[in-house]
Amino acid sequence: MSIENTIRKIMENDLFVETPADQIDLDGSLRNDYGLDSLGFVELRVQCEDQFGVQISDEDFTPEAFQSVHTVADLVRRLQGAAA
């Protein structure tokens, strides 16, 4: 499963986003389109760390990095590459 699809599943199953995972727009705003609040972003950070085996530092935990599914997936890929 791709990183993007895993993030979509996290949003549906763990963050209780009402949009079905397969209908979540990869470029949609996590805050404006899917209603994530500050607690939702923290939970997404923790779930991504657990699912992908990365450590998201406070410097990487930015509104820009958590703008959309695509930007979160790009961050995860970058962190996985740095750890390799």
Give me the tens of pLDDT residue by residue for the chain, a chain 84 residues long. 899 999 999 999 999 999 999 999 999 999 999 999 999 999 999 999 999 999 999 999 999 999 999 999 999 999 999 876
What pLDDT was estimated at residue 61? 98
Q: Are 68 and 3 in contact (CB under 8 A)?
A: no
Q: Helices 38-52 and 3-13: crossing angle, nearest 10°?
A: 130
37 classed as catalytic: yes
Q: 37, 58, 60, 74: which one is catalytic?
A: 37
Q: Are 4 and 26 in contact (CB under 8 A)?
A: yes
Q: Are 48 and 10 in contact (CB under 8 A)?
A: yes
